[in-house]
Chains A and B, each alone.
Chain A
Amino acid sequence: MTRYVVLATLITAACLCAQEEEVPAPATKPVAEKSAREEAPIDLTGYWTAVVTQDWRWRMVTPKKGDFPGIPLNPEGRKLANAWDPGKDEASGDQCKAYGAVGIMRMPTRLHITWQDDNTLRIDTDAGTQTRLFHFRGSKVEAGAPQWQGSSAAQWEFVRTKIPPHVPGPIHGGSLKVVTTRMRPGYLRKNGVPYGANAVLTEYFDVTTEPNGWQSILLTTILEDTQYLAQSILLNTNFRKLPDASGWSPTPCTAR
């Protein structure tokens, strides 16, 4: 049932989006002809590092079993979290359960972001040595069984001032929206706090520049999971740009 509600919502969103297309476009080269890489309003490529100045106790080290205050788990989710057994995960080869698309962005990790092709943005992480692929324009959907990183559909959200009646101004900046589904069930916190197979992860990436020249990724994360959560989770995370690959240190997943 939930799937159909989500589906209906998405179709509605698609229709609304189509209506957006009816707004007279400026007399320039049609946007659709450009690749995602060409029309990128922000540059996410490069090396970035997580900056863990808050929630340290749950991010930099593995918290004890049952340490999940504030996470709106439903009874089923609590039951599963309280049954966390890292030894069992190791035995079944599931050490990467906390390194899926939901958990990896909260890890103390570095990111290496590149364009895999003109319509696919790629994020490699050194923590857990994971790869996320953000597909623009439906360029590809991961086939087969669900994976830790799921399938991610991406689109740019452009900023364009509109003056009534619907005269669009030039594009000046924007952000990246990514929706990830078909994830293999994993942990949103390393101590076994679960998310399920039907979880939907929505992320917004913004880039900011600080007074000292630092660049940051400001990541807004919304996790919806009717299987284990009583309500959606809103998370905010930031990464700081690094000058180069120094410090890049790929490590395998660990369950503990």
Chain B
Amino acid sequence: MRLPFALFLALSCSPAFAQLDLSGEWASRYTWDFLERLPGPELGDYLGLPINNAARLKANSWEASTQTIPERQCIPHGADYLFSRAGFPMRIWTEEDPATQKIIAIRIRSYAWSVERTIWMDGRPHPSKYARHTWQGFSTGQWNGNVLTVTTTHLKWNYIRRNGVPRSDEATVTEHFARHGDYLTLLTYIDDPVYITEPLLRTSGYYLDPQQQLEPFPCEPVEEVVRPEGAVPHHLPGTNKDIDEFPAKYGLPAATAMGGAETMYPGYAIPPGPKQVGSPSETTTGLEILPVQKNIYMLAGDGGNITLQIGNDGVLLVDTGLAEMSDQALAAIRKFTNKPIHYILNTHVHADHIGGNEAFGKAGNTITGGDVADDIKGLEKGAAIIAHDRVLERMSASAPFAALPTDVYRGKQKDLYFNDEPVVLLHQPAAHTDGDSLVFFRGSDVISTGDIFVTTSYPVIDLDRGGSIQGIIDALNRIIEITVPAALQEGGTLVIPGHGRICDEADVVEYRDMVTIIRDRIADMLKRGMTLEQVKAARPTEDYDPRYGASAAFIEAVYRSLSK
């Protein structure tokens, strides 16, 4: 019998049945893509990536030694890169409901950093858009024939290629796992409205290796490079010569090495697909109260975020949102807890953070005792409103008396003890304004930052009210000093920004780096004698604009702040 006829005999007795169980020890086989996956891609190799100019500038500014910053050393690959590109050995298993034996979740453990990932199979929805993002994101899965399709949202920023090509925290990732006997294939679809012009598709493969053992992969940050406090390694625009080596080495045009959607296809001229519909996380609207950690909750959707500390003693609020939203916000809080509001802490003077002072103050009451020993006279007085003295000074001219702080501090910090934990207000001079306070809940391990840190825009530097770029950077570094991450630079101390979602230290580090890099660029332009118009025309924020939006006011504020 000739071999081909044997094959036909073997294959002609259809039907065969594909497998639906992905469980097992899966190993990588590095062949064609060995160089990119193990040693890592070369600098300036953006071939075949559908990236935009913002991504190119960010990648060209990337300096490899940034990974030696202690806060970055233990950051693992994001879910999309870890499984579809790095392709470390992994274990897959399922978790069943004991009663029904239905699969609740598929779990994956990677050798790299011992990362564990959960793919929920029980139909639960994705979290609120204000919920915290993580390196592995939030994943749900469903079977389509023999293919497991996984949708992941709530990812932290990461990279598309491990040479600085970024993937933003607004990306949604769809993965398709297909098993054929001892082989497992993964197709990953990344949609990132910030850094790519059309979805990125890529594939990876594994083979079953029952003898595989996954060893622990501990990571402990150390001081690898001694550098000035707050220094962020990066290349100023146009100064990175390392990226020129790659196209020269392989005889490629420099423009081709810079990638772009047109480089992905034969002929470079494929019409784009239909526009994507919204991701699951975009469906949330209105006010939401989200648990943060221990005593702390966040009310989002009312102008600035409102932080709630709730315990046996009552309710403490950090900021009060917009005046016109006070009734709705109060109703939302009352629906959530019937405890009395005793304290309101203002992080700064802006209307979207103090607008509800009067309404919330009247709805609450002041208690005596503990370390509250000011001029409190009785319960009828309303909730105590505490802020830095500069807030009272700036509010006095225009705000109604009932909205004014009842208690101010003038030094570096003010201490409270409420709901069985220390609450510390830390003055950050000349940052967003001159009256900013960080509020640190030491027992719950949460910091409420006001507008020193936001996830929705560039920082606003209110120069007229005493803000400065250096003060913003100093305050961001102060937050990073206070925060302590849990394993893999994730979780631990949580951070509530003035606007946007719940964060942790890694989010603040990325934001601090962005602000510092842009400060350095504009400082360099100033040194070269460029005018404000010339600086704006040079687009020093181009790599971040798709993520943080309009930048003209920020550029101008940085320019003027540095010119002082």
Contact = CB atoms under 8 A, between A and B. Distances in A.
Interface in B181-225: 183, 185-187, 189, 191, 199-205, 207
A220 B176 CA distance: 13
A177 B16 contact: yes
Contact of A160 (B9, B17, B149, B200): B17
Residue among A18, A58, A70, A127 having the largest count of chain B Cβ atoms under 10 Å: A70
Interface stretch (A6-14, A74-82, A84-92, A93-101): A6-14
A212 B20 CA distance: 25
Interface in A51-70: 51-58, 60-61, 64, 69-70
Q: What's the interface size class on B, roughly?
A: 35 or more
Interface in A12-69: 13-14, 17-18, 20-21, 31-32, 39, 41-42, 49-58, 60-61, 64, 69
A11 B271 CA distance: 47
B205 A14 contact: no
A151 B263 CA distance: 33
B9 A10 contact: yes
B29 interface: yes
B266 A110 contact: yes
Contact of A214 (B147, B172, B273): B273
Given A49-B270, A247-B270, A175 B20 contact: no
A6 B2 CA distance: 11
Nearest to A19: B13
Given A70-B31, A126-B266, A204 B14 contact: no
Given A10-B10, A220-B178, A236-B185, A158 B18 contact: yes
A157 B18 contact: yes
B346 interface: no
B267 interface: yes
B47 interface: yes
Contact of B265 (A6, A108, A214, A235): A108
Nearest to B15: A158
Interface residues of A, number: 91
Contact of B3 (A7, A58, A204): A7
Interface in A134-172: 135-138, 141, 151, 153-162, 171-172
B189 A181 contact: no
Interface in B271-323: 271, 273-277
Contacts of B85: 54
A40 B49 CA distance: 34
Given A53-B264, A153-B8, 16 more contacts: A7-B1, A14-B9, A39-B14, A51-B264, A56-B47, A153-B7, A156-B16, A160-B17, A171-B15, A175-B145, A208-B144, A211-B172, A216-B201, A218-B187, A220-B185, A249-B266
Interface of B: 1, 3-18, 20, 29-36, 45, 47-50, 85, 144-147, 149, 151, 172, 174, 176, 178, 180, 183, 185-187, 189, 191, 199-205, 207, 250, 252, 263-267, 269-271, 273-277
Interface of A: 3, 6-7, 10-11, 13-14, 17-18, 20-21, 31-32, 39, 41-42, 49-58, 60-61, 64, 69-72, 106-110, 126-127, 135-138, 141, 151, 153-162, 171-175, 177, 179, 181-182, 189, 204, 206, 208-214, 216, 218, 220, 222, 233-238, 240, 242-243, 246-247, 249
